[in-house]
Amino acid sequence: MNKEKLTNNAATILSLIAIFGFLVWANSYASPYVIQILNITAIYIILSTSYNLVNGVTGQFSLGPNAFMAIGAYTSALLTLTPLEKEITYIIEPIVSPLGEISLPFLPSLLIAGVTASIVAFLIAFPVFRVRGDYLAIVTLGFGEIVRVFATNAVSITNGSLGLKGIKQYTNLWWSWGWAVVTVFCLIGLVESSYGRAMKAIREDETAAQAMGINTFRYKMLAFIISAFFQGIGGGLLAHLLTTIDPKLFSFFLTFNLLIMVVAGGLGSMTGSVIGAVIFAWGFEILRWFEEPHKIGDISIPAIPGMRMVIFSLLLILIMLFFRRGITGRWEFSWDSLFNVLGRKIKLPKTS
Amino acid sequence: MTNIMTIKNLTVRFDALEALSSLDMEVASGSIVGLIGPNGAGKTTVFNVLSGFIRPHEGSISFHGKEIARLKPYKITSLGMSRTFQNIRLFGELSVIENVMIGFHLSYNSMFLGPLLSLFGYKKIEKEIYERAIMLLDRTGLLNLIDEKASVLPYGLQRKLEIVRAIATRPKLLLLDEPAAGMNPNEKEDLMKFITKLRDKLALTILLIEHDMHVVMKICDRITVLDYGEKIAEGSPQDIKNNQRVIEAYLGEAGVAES
Ligand SMILES: Nc1ncnc2c1ncn2[C@@H]1O[C@H](COP(=O)(O)OP(=O)(O)O)[C@@H](O)[C@H]1O
Ligand SMILES: [Mg+2]
């Protein structure tokens, strides 16, 4: 290992320790409100980076992450709820046989949620990737609706439109940020490997990618499956943070928000997706101010519900006007670039 | 000399248009074969069929003794055939070295479970791919450009990079679609040297579509001439130069151009 690599690894470890320290502090001193937003931030990071793998890195315009989140949320919640809780919750129709009796700890439930979402992604990859471009968007959009309709109508499995209540609030800063870190590391590792390069090749020119010997269907499917895994995990974390879920929660609006994060951050850049998620989670809270009544001097402004969505959309338009390719473009954060900016004078030979 | 590829009775139709009419062709191992003909003769269509992008309606293609007509493009590339495109198709947003590294993909990513299995070994594999790409770019004189975005390179270098990227898949047969198009005479000279050097150093067989007769006559061992999807002549450059049907086909094209 050379010196540059050592410095970079040290920098990574130091920043992880810094994040850890911050979380320890927040855990004991921050208000429940701030802790809630920190949890949401981490979940958004998981969701936006994994969405970026399909939309940004591989260039496949999917609109289905809300479906995979729903699958993950329901799967994990059904697994952590105890048989008794399920019996009480399912008042319209009793829950189907094996599901009613199972009860698992949080971690295996989350993992099963991720794997279930991946399996569904694998199955729908066959019809989904037969089509390209706009059609792909429409097919995945339709899939999201199918999952929602299923969640509403398969009452003996999902408890229908009543949803699931009384889910234990297992998600805390350690779970949410732990998964966020794992997700980001896995995805960056993937994107920087030859697998990630094959995905980028598909985005750049699918015909040329095939001519390079890339089985494009397989790589699109791989991106889709890995992305679905983390979206399933994200959905599971969200369910165990909010403690209640119902089909309405997983509407297209969720996908739309993710799209904003990924596009505003910089389609194709994981750094951009992280920044997009952080800005979205906090920006949305800060803009809450505009929905409250105010008194400036003699003028009193009434509360305007929905105002922050208007402002958010305006900001998005501004970002897209001035940074056509999002905040980061395709740029990725690296310690080298940071050190260079900070004025590292000695230029070491580039190694990979 | 053995044939690396034998094409028999190849026929391609686009609706009413017969773009290729029962084409027979043989390509000898280690040779540079020219594929020429007026615009719209069906040359690029031949490449598209060979590389798997178009399925022929009839005919067979035996490559290294293996039937490859109707296989998927990635499969054909993995069997040792690689191509460039008439209208350059680089991965424009990616750097020069990334373009070449993608070419090496075949040597490493055979398994679907690879990302999981190579989670631990992947840094080592990455380093190896990087070093091989550096070596290839060094030998082909593109080393000073590794970090440039492919789409900002001048035209001639883009053509060259596309050839280098095709080489990275380690082909036995290389298909070049009008590599000299848009080049000035100096660049064309360099390109000719480059192509012959590739053939000699890498023991390649090369099938070349080219409009510049000077280039074709100088570097090709054999030439096949197409016109309206049919083979009208075949032979050494000398034979082709004096072939009456070829002269007529090209005169016809010149006549159309003048009118
Ligand atoms: N994908 C396609 N669909 C319909 N017609 C095509 C297609 N590809 C080529 N052609 C037609 O087939 C004929 C041969 O084209 P092409 O092989 O590109 O010629 P060349 O490369 O010799 O100039 C032309 O008339 C062209 O218009
Ligand atoms: Mg052509």
Complex-level ipTM: 0.91
Per-residue pLDDT tens over the stretch A154-212: 888 898 888 899 999 999 999 999 999 999 999 998 898 888 999 999 999 999 999 99
Contact call for residues A234 and A64 (beta carbons, < 8 A): no
Which residues have CB under 8 Å from B143's CB, separation 6+? B134, B137
Cβ neighbours around A306 below 10 Å, total: 8
Assess whether pLDDT exceeds 60 at residue A243.
yes
Atom number, ligand 1, closest to the C-alpha of residue B177: 21
- Separation CA A236–CA B147 (nearest Å): 41
Contact call for residues A170 and A239 (beta carbons, < 8 A): no
Distance from the first to the final alpha carbon of chain B: 45
Q: Name which residue leads in pLDDT, B200 or B1.
A: B200
Contact call for residues B215 and B182 (beta carbons, < 8 A): no
Give the DSSP letter of residue B149. B
The candidate with the shortest Cα–Cα distance to B105, out of A269, A209, A56, is A209
**Which ligand approaches the C-alpha of residue B54 most closely?**
1
**Does residue A25 fall inside a structural domain?**
no
Q: Which residues of B touch A (CB under 8 A)?
A: 51-53, 72-74, 77-78, 82-83, 85, 89-94, 98, 101-106, 108-109, 112, 114-115, 118-119, 122, 125-127, 129-130, 165-166, 169
Q: What are phi and psi of A117, to 5 degrees?
A: -60, -40
Per-residue pLDDT tens over the stretch A298-334: 888 777 787 877 887 888 788 778 777 777 777 778 8
Assess whether pLDDT exceeds 50 at residue B188.
yes
Chain A stretch 286-345, residues whose beta carbon is closer than 8 A to a beta carbon of chain B: 330
CA distances from B249 to A341, B39, B244 (A): 62, 11, 9
**Does residue A347 fall inside a structural domain?**
no
Residue A230: alpha-carbon gap to chain centroid: 7
Q: For position A322, what pLDDT does the model report?
A: 79
CB contact under 8 A, A197 and B85: no
For range B122-147, the mean pLDDT? 90
Per-residue pLDDT tens over the stretch B46-77: 999 999 999 999 999 999 999 999 999 999 99
Atom number, ligand 1, closest to the C-alpha of residue B46: 17
User: Scanning every residue of chain A, which has its alpha carbon at the shortest distance from the alpha carbon of B130?
Assistant: A352
**Does residue A102 fall inside a structural domain?**
yes
Assess whether pLDDT exceeds 50 at residue B259.
no
Cβ neighbours around A12 below 10 Å, total: 12
**Does residue A224 fall inside a structural domain?**
yes
Q: Name which residue leads in pLDDT, B81 or B108.
A: B81
**Pick from A189, A194, A213: which is nearest to B77 by CB?**
A213
**Interface-testing mutation among A194, A200, A214, A218, with chain B (most B C-beta atoms within 10 A):** A194
- Separation CA A224–CA A221 (nearest Å): 5
The candidate with the shortest Cα–Cα distance to A124, out of A111, A110, A109, A141, is A141
Assess whether pLDDT exceeds 90 at residue B122.
no
A169 lies in which domain range?
Answer: 32-250
Per-residue pLDDT tens over the stretch A223-242: 999 999 999 999 999 999 99
State both tokens at A157.
Answer: 């499995």
Proportion of chain B above pLDDT 90, given as a percent: 77
Per-residue pLDDT tens over the stretch A14-63: 889 999 999 999 999 999 999 999 999 999 999 999 999 999 999 999 99
Q: What angle do CA B92, B95, B98 make, to 5 degrees?
A: 105
Residue A115: alpha-carbon gap to chain centroid: 16
Q: Parallel, antiparallel, or unpaired: how do β-strands B81-83 and B222-227 relate?
A: unpaired
Q: How many helices (H) and strands (E) does chain A have?
A: 16, 2
Contact call for residues A323 and A330 (beta carbons, < 8 A): no
- Separation CA A183–CA A204 (nearest Å): 24
Interface residue A2 vs chain B (CB under 8 A): no
State both tokens at A330.
Answer: 């395709």
- The number of distinct structural domains making up chain A is 1
Question: With bands split at pLDDT 50, 70 and 90, how would you rate the model's confidence at A87?
Answer: confident
Give the DSSP letter of residue A164. B
**Does residue A148 fall inside a structural domain?**
yes
Per-residue pLDDT tens over the stretch B27-47: 999 999 999 999 999 999 999
Which residues have CB under 8 Å from B72's CB, separation 6+? A210, A215, B52
**Does residue A233 fall inside a structural domain?**
yes
- Separation CA A231–CA A117 (nearest Å): 8
- Separation CA A234–CA A230 (nearest Å): 6
**Interface-testing mutation among B81, B95, B102, B172, with chain A (most A C-beta atoms within 10 A):** B102
State both tokens at A127.
Answer: 């019809």
**Interface-testing mutation among A186, A204, A219, A226, with chain B (most B C-beta atoms within 10 A):** A204
Q: For position A310, what pLDDT does the model report?
A: 84
CA distances from B135 to A333, B41, B84, B139, B161 (A): 27, 38, 21, 6, 14
Interface residue A200 vs chain B (CB under 8 A): yes
Q: Which residues are paired to B25 by β-bridges?
A: B7
Per-residue pLDDT tens over the stretch B215-233: 999 999 999 999 999 999 9
Question: With bands split at pLDDT 50, 70 and 90, how would you rate the model's confidence at B258?
Answer: very low
Contact call for residues A229 and A115 (beta carbons, < 8 A): yes
Residue A285: alpha-carbon gap to chain centroid: 18
Cβ neighbours around B166 below 10 Å, total: 25
For range A91-119, the mean pLDDT? 90
**Does residue A150 fall inside a structural domain?**
yes
- Separation CA B70–CA B55 (nearest Å): 5
Contact call for residues B30 and B1 (beta carbons, < 8 A): yes
Q: For position A101, what pLDDT does the model report?
A: 82
- At A328 the three-state DSSP class reads coil
Amino acid at B115: P
**Does residue A37 fall inside a structural domain?**
yes
For range B127-154, the mean pLDDT? 93
Q: For position A98, what pLDDT does the model report?
A: 81
- Separation CA B79–CA B4 (nearest Å): 12
Contact call for residues A305 and A292 (beta carbons, < 8 A): no
- Separation CA B191–CA B184 (nearest Å): 10
- Separation CA B207–CA A51 (nearest Å): 42
Q: With b meaning 16 or more CB within 10 Å and e meaning fewer, what string describes A159-182?
A: bbebbbeebeebbbbebbbebbbe
CB contact under 8 A, A213 and B114: no
| pTM for this entry | 0.90
Q: For position A63, what pLDDT does the model report?
A: 93
Which residues have CB under 8 Å from B243's CB, separation 6+? B225, B233, B235
Burial degree of B175 (CB within 10 A; 0-12, 13-18, 19+): buried
Contact call for residues A288 and A305 (beta carbons, < 8 A): no
CB contact under 8 A, B93 and A212: no
**Ramachandran sector of residue A326 (left: φ over 0; alpha: ψ -120 to 50; beta: rest):** left
- Separation CA A291–CA A306 (nearest Å): 7
pLDDT, averaged across chain A: 88
Q: For position B254, what pLDDT does the model report?
A: 58
B69 C-beta closer than 6 A to ligand 1: no
